[in-house]
Amino acid sequence: MKAKLFPLNKITVIGPGLIGGSIAKACIERALCKNLAIGARDDELNLLTKSGLKANLYNHFGLSVEGSDLVILCVPFEVLESILLEIKDYLGPETIVTDVTSIKKEVIRLFQSILADKVEWIGSHPMAGSEKSGFESSNSKLFDGSITILTPGLHACSETLHCVKTLWEKLGSKTINLSAEEHDALVSEISHLPHLLSAVLMKSVSLKSLALAGPGFRDITRIASGCPNLWKSILLTNRQSICEAGKKFIMDFEEALEILQTGDEKALLELLNKANVLRKGLEKK
């Protein structure tokens, strides 16, 4: 494949929700392409029309990707297969396809089985977002300062990788390459397990104590207000890795309770100090 230079001629975003909408807005604001096409459901298209976003809108996903240099699939994993089947015959040999889902082994399997070698594809996972969803919550700066994981696999050519990497960099994100297996394991720790912990905590505390919730409890449970259907799909798809991370967490938490129960002041302070230092390290990035 020939190297693609930005601005690309045509970028297609399918699924203009929080992530897709933010990509679309940034593509326009930062002039990343001459033509921006958006494929969406009819109800989403109404919102987009009202927003005045300068893009060509399609309710036919196949037509939205015709002649595109880069197709970014911003839909939940559950509908990815049906959309790939809808668009595959409209993709040209020079089109690059990527997605933004937070699971990758299964996505790569879908890409491989449906797109095979017909087009170039690479998985993307921007570690950005919010507990909010929908185009109305999207903004062009969502990815500024974030990290995006790319899962190019072995098949992708260097031009494809370069193009997708450049897209994310222009969207404000640093990129890191991982295998799909590494991705799913690491993300289960840093995103999926925390989500499940947050949801269980939210449900576990008594209603009487909820009336006393302060800012700390609001912070720790913020992600529990994420879209239940989206997260059901993510958690189920990556359940193997999450259950492993979950079991390790339980062991670590039981150890902490043991330290507390026995009143081991030194060990407790060590735990809190270590957590404090690690957390402060995150702020510096």
Residue list 190-209, contact with a second copy (CB under 8 A): 190-191, 193-206, 208-209
String of DSSP letters for 196-224? HHHHHHHHHS-HHHHTT--HHHHHHHGGG
C-alpha angle with apex 259: 253 to 263, nearest 5 degrees? 145
Give the footprint of a second copy on residues 249-278 (CB under 8 A). 249-250, 252-254, 256-257, 260-261, 263, 265, 268-269, 271-276, 278
Nearer to a second copy, 154 or 206 (CB): 206
Q: Which residues pair with 123 in a beta bridge?
A: 99, 151
Q: Which of 149, 156, 161, 180 binds a second copy (CB under 8 A)?
A: 149
Question: Smallest gap, in angstroms, from Cβ of residue 81 to a second copy?
Answer: 17
Query: Is residue 219 at the binding interface for a second copy, with CB under 8 A as the rule?
Result: yes
Nearer to a second copy, 96 or 187 (CB): 187
Q: Which stretch binds a second copy (CB under 8 A): 9-17, 24-32, 103-111, 214-222?
A: 214-222
String of DSSP letters for 69-107? SEEEE-S-HHHHHHHHHHHGGG--TT-EEEE--S--HHH
Q: Which residues pair with 125 in a beta bridge?
A: 149
Query: Is residue 52 at the binding interface for a second copy, with CB under 8 A as the rule?
Result: no
Contact 131, 160 (CB under 8 A): no
Question: Smallest gap, in angstroms, from Cβ of residue 133 to a second copy?
Answer: 11
Give the footprint of a second copy on residues 114-143 (CB under 8 A). 127-131
Query: Is residue 5 at the binding interface for a second copy, with CB under 8 A as the rule?
Result: no
Query: Is residue 103 at the binding interface for a second copy, with CB under 8 A as the rule?
Result: no
Question: Smallest gap, in angstroms, from Cβ of residue 151 to a second copy?
Answer: 12
Nearer to a second copy, 10 or 105 (CB): 105
Q: Which x/- pattern, by CB under 8 A, does the window 28-47 give for a second copy?
A: --------------------
Which two three-digit tokens encode residue 231?
A: 């997260």
Query: Is residue 283 at the binding interface for a second copy, with CB under 8 A as the rule?
Result: yes
Question: Smallest gap, in angstroms, from Cβ of residue 276 to a second copy?
Answer: 5
Nearer to a second copy, 87 or 223 (CB): 223
C-alpha closest to that of 69 among 140, 166, 141? 166
Q: Which residues pair with 259 in a beta bridge?
A: none
Query: Is residue 189 at the binding interface for a second copy, with CB under 8 A as the rule?
Result: yes
Give the footprint of a second copy on residues 159-178 (CB under 8 A). 176
Contact 78, 52 (CB under 8 A): no
- Sign of the four-CA dihedral 81, 85, 87, 89: positive
Q: At what angle do helices 228-237 and 77-87 cross, to 10 degrees?
A: 90
Nearer to a second copy, 68 or 133 (CB): 133
Judge if the upstream peptide bond of residue 7 is cis by omega within 30 degrees of 0.
Answer: yes
d(CA 33, CA 27): 7
Size of the site for a second copy (CB under 8 A): 87
